[in-house]
Structure 1
Amino acid sequence: MPTYPYETVDVFTDRRFGGNQLAVFTDARGMSDAEMQALAAEMNYSETTFVLPPSDPANTARVRIFHRTAEMPFAGHPNVGTACVLAAHGRDRDGLLLFEEMAGLVEVKVTRDAAGLVTGATIAAPQPLSLGLTLPVDAIAACVGLAPEDIVVSRHQPQQASVGVKFVLVEIKSEALARAAPDINAYRRLAQANPVLEGRLSLFLYAWDANNARARMFAPLAGTWEDPATGSASATLAALTLSLGSEEAVAFEITQGVEMGRPSLLHVAARRGDGEIRATVGGGCVPVLRGEATL
């Protein structure tokens, strides 16, 4: 029976047992789609990644990302964590890695300390900002156990947006963030009423704290009741924020995971260029466990 090594890391943190957990299978050759999905469900993290040889030798790897119930076209913390694991094995080229993913090519730059140890990474989202449908305030409020007046609409309505994977971004009042709690029946009603969502309804709630933001993300229909750090949604928020103003670029920090006891810090930025808005997200990463799976 084949054996597959894996490593786990905590992402968007500088210490163990904070941030977002990730399992990385560093050589998934020979593993079937069904086995990848089963292992992701067994790990029970927000996502698990599987590293395969690239189709283009100029790139570092093909990376497949699975959450508990399905494959993802792109995600934030899986790219940061996978890059840190592979770079620790010497697979970067002068700090750069290129990952082939369903949503496109993802460029990752790793950071090292004075001793040469990998400490984190910053990824460039594979797609420019795109906007989808807006959703009704009352239905969104019901999904997260809040009142409609807790939702802030002065800048934007609850807005589906993407830089590689779709989220619904919802600004809420600062004092409401800690009170939010997902209602899966309300999620199901809203998803059924909007077939264009294709059953995917991930709500990224955020509140401004001076020039930075605090956030929570709920995706119970996908098996993630709450996510401690959502890099792809955070990058999308940076891109959306830039789109709402006239600046050429924005950069700020997002704190997430506090209510879960897994505090996370994400550094996001967005920039205009060639008629598009592109975003990046980065943060720390620390190793936690190593093991192997026999299939």
Structure 2
Amino acid sequence: MPTVVNEYPFSQVDVFAPGPKAGNPVAVVHDADGLTTEQMQSFANWTNLSETTFLQKPTHPEADYRLRIFTPASELPFAGHPTLGSAHAWLDKGGQPRRDGELVQECEAGLVKIRRADTDLAFAAPPLVRSGGVEPAVLGQAIASLGIEAAEILGSNWVDNGPGWIGIRLESARKVLELQPDFALMGQLCVGVIGSYAPDGPADFGVRAFVPGFSVPEDPVTGSLNAGLAQWLLGEGVVDGDYTVQQGTVLGRGGLLTITVEDENIWVGGTSRTVVSGRVSL
């Protein structure tokens, strides 16, 4: 029997991109209700992007759409840049939100609010599923895999909102950019590292995200990590309000994220740009 192939609307969106090709791309398949989990995972493996998403009809009465999110290796309950890129693609294809200026995404992690501000979108940081101090053995593995000494760390914490993030803070963005991780030693850990720029720098902080267990050694620009880091830094008083983050520099990108504290929410935002629009055969 010949394999049945169906076509689906398709978008590829650059997220947290202040200019062309500066951010993190996400592949978005629209009207994907008829696809199986196996088909979704297979396509995500084929695109080989950090995430590929599939827009479906919502099952929750308050949601505008349902989103499933896949890395090349596995499905995620939540991820930040796929959330904003998929919201952008949904709007770009004519999606009509139930509320003015706000979208509600349904995903495995629950409902996520997304707000519109001019050409930018921002999501409300979801609750952490794990926070607090990192166990010594786990932290030791993370430190060793980063090739640094424990004395160089200003702080560490679980900042997990789904993928499993560990947050580590260094004294400067320069030290963050100089890291040369050992991904084999890092194993299945998801490690995010943050350090501050000087006042005349390109942003307030520089961030790098390492996720070798998801077949993505370094993620170019990462919304979920920055959402978790913001909750940690604000909770500990390291920052006391809005700030900006640059990520992806080592990979030749220049992703820019804004962290805004408003309405009892932490909003993670940036500019999304549709780069490819068409149809895909699956």
TM-score range, shorter chain: 0.7 to 0.9
Is 88-97 or 36-45 further displaced after alignment? 88-97
Quote the Cα distance in structure 2 between the aligned partners of 1:135 and 1:271.
Answer: 32
What is the aligned partner in structure 2 of residue 68 from structure 1?
72
Structure 2 Cα separation of the partners of residues 250 and 166 of structure 1: 25
Q: Please list every run of 5 or more consecutive structure 2 residues that lacks an aligned counterpart in the other structure.
A: none
Equivalent in the alignment of 1:187: 186
Of 216, 219, 238, which residue of structure 1 is paired with 2:230? 238
1:21 aligns with 2:25: yes
Q: How far is 1:130 from its partner?
A: 4.3
Between stretches 261-270 and 100-109, larger displacement belongs to 261-270
Contact 1:130–1:162 (CA under 8 A) maintained in structure 2: yes
Q: 1:161 to 1:272 in 2, by over 3 A?
A: farther
The residue number in structure 2 matching 1:207 is 195
Q: Which amino acid aligns with 2:191?
A: L
One-letter amino acid of the counterpart of residue 229, structure 1? V
**Which residue in the other structure is 2:148 paired with?**
146
Q: Distance in 1 between matches of 2:103 and 2:261?
A: 20
Match of 1:167 in 2: 165
- Counterpart contact for 1:4–1:27, Cα < 8 Å: yes
Query: Where does residue 263 of structure 1 map in the other structure?
Result: 254
Cα distance in 2, alignment partners of residues 171 and 186 from structure 1? 20
The equivalent residue for 1:116 is: none
Aligned to 1:35: 39
Q: Hey, what does 2:123 align to over in structure 1?
A: 123
1:90 positional shift: 2.8
Amino acid at match of 2:166: V
* Cα offsets for 1:71-129 (capped at 9, x unmatched): 111111011111111112231432321111111101111233xxxxxx22010123257
- Once the two structures are superposed, residues 126-161 of structure 1 have per-residue CA deviations (whole angstroms, 9 ceiling, x without a partner) of 325741551445432221223333322xxx3x2112
CA shift at 1:280, angstroms?
A: 1.9
2:94 matches 1:90: yes
Q: How many pairs align?
A: 269
Q: Quick one: percent identity of the two aligned structures?
A: 32
* Residues 151, 47 of structure 1: alpha-carbon distance in 2 compared, 3 angstrom cutoff: same
> Could you tell me whether the CA contact under 8 Å between 1:11 and 1:285 is conserved in 2?
yes
In the alignment, is the contact (CA less than 8 A) between 2:183 and 2:217 conserved in 1?
no
**Secondary structure of the equivalent of 2:142?**
helix
Q: Do the aligned partners of residues 110 and 272 (structure 1) sit closer, same or farther apart at CA in structure 2, a change above 3 Å counting?
A: closer
CA RMSD of aligned residues (A): 2.2
> Once the 2 structures are TM-superposed, how far is the Cα of residue 279 of structure 1 from its aligned partner?
2.5
Indicate the residue corresponding to 1:78 in structure 2: 82
1:218 aligns with 210
